Amino acid sequence: MFLPAYLLEHNRYLSLLGVFVIFAIAFLFSQKKKSISYKLILNAFLMQFGIGFAFLKLFGDGSGNNSVLAAVASGVAKIYAFADEGSRFLFCNLANCDSPWGFIFGIKVLPVIIFFGALMSILFYLGIVQIFVSAINFIIRPILGSSGAETLCAVANSFLGQTEAPLLIRGYLSKMTKSEILVVMVSGMATISSAIMAVFAMMGVPAGHMLIAVLMSVPGSIMMAKILYPETEESSTTGSNLESFKSPAKNFFDALFSGTSDGLSLAVNVAAMLIVFISLIAMLNSLIGFSASALNNLFSYLGVGLVLPDLSLDYLFRLAFAPFAYLLGFTGIEATQAAELLGTKVTINELVAFGKMVKMGLSERAQTILTYALCGFANFSCIGIQVGGIGALVPEKRIWLTELGLYAVLGSSLVNILNALIVALLI
């Protein structure tokens, strides 16, 4: 009797059904269904579930007091603080998020990309990155079967940003397969960086749950990417092939200057693509709204008793995500609010969605579940960020990035919702 009662409480049976729905959607959109490695999928899902179970049931309640998570987050935050020093020198108080103008993307994020470009170039020249790739390959590959470089990038994305983490494996990007590139993209969108996490924590989003969410997204990202685009080629970052990757820099300062130049190019590309994508989304919203208004005028002229609501991408995606809100166990007004937040996250960004969430007066359980569902960069503008960012590092792969952009948004959104479904089953 315990299990049926447990599943009926908070509609957990719907969340269990939702897990199967997520896998069904991923399988439906898979480009190479016959090549899916079900061993990888099972192991990755067990790892994803195990991380959630361990931190929510064994080590605490996700309140942010776990010392290991806090130490890692603190270390990464210090690296961002170093980058902030350069920003403060150039922009002074504009780099201060506590100021009236708040968080300015161009000042807080773009300079960090430049700094990381230089830092990762130095670490690659010193051979430190290669050591990490080898270690990750040795530990994770027997479990998941993923390559060292793609797995390292997925792990790095749990604390670094989606444009900084690829810098960690920049020497491997040109040799990566299409399946590995999708892992890089999905893991970048399914997580958030420590710097952005700090901003959300200041807004009132539970920091501990965000930390657990990004950790769960590491195996979840690899799993979802390998369902949508299974590996059918031989990776260049497995086993003995790792030693063949050397830094092109002639000395330390050459690595520093080339990394800075590459970081600058990366930051400019990110800024340009972000401007274009957000502008295009705004234009599309305007066209959708104008079309709805024109149809209403036509219906009125023809005497048809039909009135369309004010349409926008946000509204349409709110309708599209309504079934997922119910699968998360929500009913009534909370289901409507959850669907609105999920739609906002994909069409605009997670910053706006989290801002809405903390003001909605949701129950503690609802806010916890939605924290996992929203904890990721999965939105349309991030296609532009990744095409501009990763494309600047490997121009020859830009066509792949454009082809896989929508797949990356789909895969990362499924990862975030799957995280939330797992949590809904556990709390």
Mean pLDDT confidence for 28-54: 93
C-beta of residue 242 within 8 angstroms of C-beta of residue 136: no
User: How far apart, in whole angstroms, are the C-alpha atoms of residue 171 and residue 96?
Assistant: 34
Mean pLDDT confidence for 40-44: 94
Mean pLDDT confidence for 167-186: 89
Residues 6+ apart with CB under 8 A from 231: 35, 37, 177, 179, 180
Q: What is the mean pLDDT of the chain?
A: 84
3-state secondary structure of 361: coil
Would you say residue 66 has pLDDT above 70? no
148-157, 267-276, 326-335 — most confident range: 326-335
Count CA atoms closer than 13 A to 165's CA, side-chain side. 30
DSSP states of 65-117 as a string?
--HHHHHHHHHHHHHHHHHHHHHHHHHGGGG-TTSTT---HHHHTHHHHHHHH
Q: What is the model's pLDDT at position 384?
A: 84
Conformation bin of residue 70: beta by default, left when phi > 0, alpha when psi is -120 to 50: alpha
Q: Name the residue with higher pLDDT: 390 or 1.
A: 390
Q: Name the residue with higher pLDDT: 266 or 225.
A: 225
Select from 284, 299, 319, 271 the least CA-distant residue to 110. Answer: 271
Q: How far is CA 360 from CA 13, 236, 351, 357, 370, in A?
A: 26, 48, 15, 5, 12
Would you say residue 303 has pLDDT above 70? yes
Q: What is the model's pLDDT at position 309?
A: 83
Domain regions of the chain by residue span: 10-232+249-288+350-426
Q: What is the model's pLDDT at position 240?
A: 46
Q: Residue by residue, what is the 3-state secondary structure of 296-342?
A: HHHHHHHCCCCCCCCCCHHHHHHHHHHHHHHHCCCCHHHHHHHHHHH
Q: What is the model's pLDDT at position 198?
A: 67
User: How far apart, in whole angstroms, are the C-alpha atoms of residue 192 and residue 196?
Assistant: 7
Conformation bin of residue 306: beta by default, left when phi > 0, alpha when psi is -120 to 50: beta
User: How far apart, in whole angstroms, are the C-alpha atoms of residue 43 and residue 133?
Assistant: 20
pLDDT digit string (tens) for 124-166? 788 887 777 667 667 777 788 888 888 888 888 877 778 778 8
3-state secondary structure of 165: helix
Q: What is the model's pLDDT at position 183?
A: 95
Confidence bin at 102 (pLDDT 50/70/90)? low
Q: Token pair 């993209």 is at which residue?
A: 185
Select from 355, 325, 339, 413 the least CA-distant residue to 205. Answer: 355
Rounded to the nearest 10 degrees, the angle between the axes of helix 350-357 and helix 364-374 is 180
Q: Token pair 């994508």 is at which residue?
A: 277
Q: What is the model's pLDDT at position 97?
A: 66
Q: What is the model's pLDDT at position 243?
A: 46
Confidence bin at 67 (pLDDT 50/70/90)? low
Q: What is the model's pLDDT at position 68?
A: 60
Would you say residue 47 has pLDDT above 70? yes
Q: What is the model's pLDDT at position 393?
A: 86
User: How far apart, in whole angstroms, are the C-alpha atoms of residue 180 and residue 304?
Assistant: 52
Select from 119, 31, 122, 74 the least CA-distant residue to 411. Answer: 31
C-beta of residue 158 within 8 angstroms of C-beta of residue 135: no
User: How far apart, in whole angstroms, are the C-alpha atoms of residue 220 and residue 120?
Assistant: 25
Count Cβ atoms within 10 A of the Cβ of residue 395 and give its class: 0-12 exposed, 13-18 middle, 19 or more buried: exposed
pLDDT digit string (tens) for 198-249? 667 767 788 788 888 988 999 999 999 999 999 988 777 665 454 445 677 8
Conformation bin of residue 192: beta by default, left when phi > 0, alpha when psi is -120 to 50: beta
User: How far apart, in whole angstroms, are the C-alpha atoms of residue 226 and residue 151?
Assistant: 12
pLDDT digit string (tens) for 184-199? 999 999 998 766 776 6
Mean pLDDT confidence for 13-17: 95
Confidence bin at 365 (pLDDT 50/70/90)? very high
Query: 26-40, 89-103, 138-152, 369-383: which range is least confident on average?
Result: 89-103
Residues 6+ apart with CB under 8 A from 253: none
User: In 20-78, which ranges are E strands?
Assistant: none
Select from 185, 161, 169, 173 the least CA-distant residue to 132. Answer: 169
